[in-house]
């Protein structure tokens, strides 16, 4: 079953809709409901957030978040994982309303789930790159591949045996593709 999609006349109207689970997104004039993640998606998403934050937070590089809505470039997107560099994080004070993120993540990560297409997720990442993201990862659990997207460059496809790096967003960060898909075998 594919993602539910309907036309909406404006981003402003979309932003006035109530919250839904799974989240709604607005891209190219359409309201799109995200897929409910299955086990492989959830495991990879959770582990990536943990690993990225374990690397970035002690270095004060920024923060990784799952399912964080950002509104930019006429769209409202909810990447599977967003990483914002420290200088792009909005200031937040405890006890205050949560800030609306109005810039794309520095690193946008999408994880392919059944019912989604690689093309759909590439479009989302490319929209982010067009509006300021510096890096995108498209993770395909079944094919055990990771597409790396950078502004103005062709997609690079990594597979088991390769290393995924965080340049230029996360200097010196690297993780083996084997590790990412190995998480699916761990208990």
Q: Which fold has domain 37-185?
A: tt1808, chain A (3.90.1570)
Contact partners, residue 35, CB within 8 Å, separation at least 6: 3, 22, 113, 114, 115, 116
**Per-residue pLDDT for 176 more than 50?**
yes
Read off the pTM. Answer: 0.84
Q: Which residue has the higher pLDDT, 29 or 148?
A: 148
Percent residues over pLDDT 90 in the chain: 65
For residue 26, what is the enclosing H or E element?
strand 24-27
**Per-residue pLDDT for 24 more than 70?**
no
**Per-residue pLDDT for 2 more than 50?**
no
């Amino acid at each position: 079953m594919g993602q539910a999609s309907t036309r909406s006349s404006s981003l402003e109207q979309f932003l006035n809709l109530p919250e839904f689970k799974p989240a709604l997104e607005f891209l190219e004039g359409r309201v799109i409901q995200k897929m409910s993640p299955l086990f492989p998606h959830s495991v990879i998403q959770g582990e990536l957030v943990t690993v990225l934050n374990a690397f970035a937070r002690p270095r004060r590089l920024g923060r990784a978040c799952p399912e964080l809505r950002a509104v930019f470039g006429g769209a409202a997107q909810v990447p599977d994982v967003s990483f914002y560099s420290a200088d792009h994080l909005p200031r937040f004070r405890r006890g205050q309303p949560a800030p609306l993120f109005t810039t794309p993540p520095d690193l946008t990560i999408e994880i392919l789930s059944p019912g989604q297409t690689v093309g759909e997720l590439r479009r989302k990442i490319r929209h982010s790159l067009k509006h300021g993201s510096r890096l995108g990862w498209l993770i395909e659990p079944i094919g055990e591949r990771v597409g790396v997207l950078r502004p103005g460059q062709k997609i690079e496809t990594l597979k088991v045996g390769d290393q995924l790096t965080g340049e230029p967003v996360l200097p010196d960060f690297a993780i083996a593709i084997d590790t990412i898909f190995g998480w699916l075998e761990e208990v």
